[in-house]
Structure 1
Amino acid sequence: MIKIKEAVIVEGKYDKIKLSSLIDGLIIETGGFQIFSDREKIELLRRLADTRGLLILTDSDSAGFLIRNHIQSCIPKEKIRHAYIPDLYGKEKRKLHPSKEGKLGVEGIDPEILLESIRRSGASAIEEAGSSEEKRKITKLDLYEDGFSGGADSSKKRQVLLRELGLPERLTAKALVPVLNSLVNYEEYQKVVKKINLTLEND
C-alpha cells in the first residue's frame, strides 16, 4: 500500500473500493456524469486542488475521458496530475456484460497495473504507508464527541461546521472525516469547534 498526498478522483464506488485496498489517501467519486451538474462537488475539488492537488484516475473509455476533461476545464492544470490505465479488454466480475467499448475500467484492472499507473503519474509525496510518523487524525469518534454526529441536533450542528469550512451541505458525517483530514489538521479542527460552540452558546 502506498500513501498519496493528492486527492484521487475516480468515477464510482466500485473504483473507490478497489483503490482503497491499494492506497492510503483521500479518494473522491465523481458519481459518473453527475459531476457535470454537481456544483458543490466541483467546488470541493477546487478546494482539494488548492490544499493538496488532484490525481485523476478515470476509466480509459470515452466516458472516462469526458469526465477527466470536464474536471480539467474547471481547475487549473498545474494542480492536477493524471494517471492513465491501459486499454485492456474484458469485463468486470460483477457485470454480466462488458462495457460499451469492451474495455476494463479501474475496478477491473490488475492491482499492480493500477499502482504502476499511479507511480507514473508523478504524484507528489508518494511513499510507502506507515514509513513516516503519523500525526493525530480527526476521527468519527471526534465528530460524535463534538456533537456533529449521533445526537438529536447533530445534523444542524454539522451544517454549521460545513458552512464554516465552506464544504458541501450534503456531506455525511462518515464522508466528512477524510475530507476534514485533507483540509485541516487536528489542532485547526479544534479551533473551529470552539468557535462554533461559542457562536451557538451566544445565539
Structure 2
Amino acid sequence: MIIKEVIVVEGRDDTVNIKRAVEADTIETNGSAVNEDTITKIRHAQEKRGVIIFTDPDSPGERIRTIVSQSVPGCKHAFLPKEQALAKHSKGVGVEHATPEDIREALKSVYSITDTYETTIEQADLVRYGLLGGKGAKARRERLGTKLKIGYTNGKQLYKRLVMFQITREEFIAAMEVIIQEEEE
C-alpha cells in the first residue's frame, strides 16, 4: 500500500513501524512541544502532497494533533484505537506498538475536517445514548470512537468531533445500536 500524503507521527519508532506497514514518508514531531521548524515542514508537505496526522491515542498525541491541525489547515486525520496501540510487555501506548494490519486499516479510514458541515445529530442524542455523564459513558465514547474511526474524545468534545468528521445521524445511530447490542450480549 502506497500513501501519497506525508504522515505526521510523534517519533522515530512510529516512522519505523509505519514503514513496516505501508510505503510512505513521515515527518516526526519529536514530542508534544512541536516547534516552528516542524510546522514549516508540515505546511510545505501539505501544499505539495497533503498530510495525514497519525498520532498516538493518548493526551500528548491529541495535543500534537490539535497543534498541527490548527497551524496547518486541511490536514487529514487517521486514528488508532487505544487497544490496537498497547505495548505487549509494558504500559506504553502508541503507533509504534500497532500491527501492520491495524496501521493499514487506520490509514484506509482517514478523515478530513470541515467547519462548514451541518449535522442532524443533536446533543439530546448524546444524552439519550448514554455518552455524556453517568455510568459507562466513557466506555461507550471509547467504543463509538473505535466504531466510527474518529478516536476517543471526552464528553465535552464528542459533539464537535462528530461534526468535524462529518458523521451523519444515520452513521451515529447505526454505530450506537451495534454498541448497545454488544452490551446486551
What's the TM-score, normalizing by structure 1?
A: 0.51
Contact 2:55 2:95 in 1 (8 A): yes
1:122 Cα deviation after fit: 5.7
For 1:69-108, list aligned pairs within 5 A. 69-76=66-73, 78=74, 80-88=75-83, 91-92=86-87, 97-99=90-92, 104-108=93-97
CA distance in 2, matches of 1:65, 1:71: 10
Tell me what 1:66 maps to. Answer: 63
Larger Rg over CA atoms: 1
- AA partner of residue 52 (structure 1): R
Query: One-letter code of the match for 2:99?
Result: D
Is it true that 1:23 corresponds to 2:16 in the alignment? no
Aligned length: 112
Give 5+ residue unaligned stretches, structure 1. 124-203
SS in 1 for 2:101: helix
- What runs of 5+ residues in structure 2 fail to find an aligned partner? 113-185
Match of 2:6 in 1: 7
Q: Of the two structures, which has the highest relative contact order with CA contacts closer than 8 Å and spacing of 6 or more?
A: 1
Percent of pairs identical after alignment? 30
Deviation at 1:119, TM superposition (A): 0.5
Return the TM-score normalized by structure 2. 0.56
**Preserved CA contact (<8 Å) 2:85 2:98:** no
Q: What do you get for the CA RMSD once the two structures are aligned? A: 1.9
What amino acid is aligned across from residue 95 of structure 2 in structure 1?
V
CA distance change for structure 1 residues 113 and 91 in 2, over 3 Å: closer, same or farther? Answer: closer
Aligned residue number for residue 98 of structure 2: 109
Q: Quick check: 1:90–1:98 contact (8 Å CA) kept in 2?
A: no
Question: Displacement, 1:91?
Answer: 4.7
Segments of 4+ in structure 1 off by > 3 A? none
Aligned residue for 1:112, secondary structure, equals: helix
Q: Relative to structure 1, is the Cα distance of residues 50 and 17 closer, same or farther in structure 2, using a 3 angstrom cutoff?
A: same
Which residue of the partner structure matches residue 180 of structure 2?
none
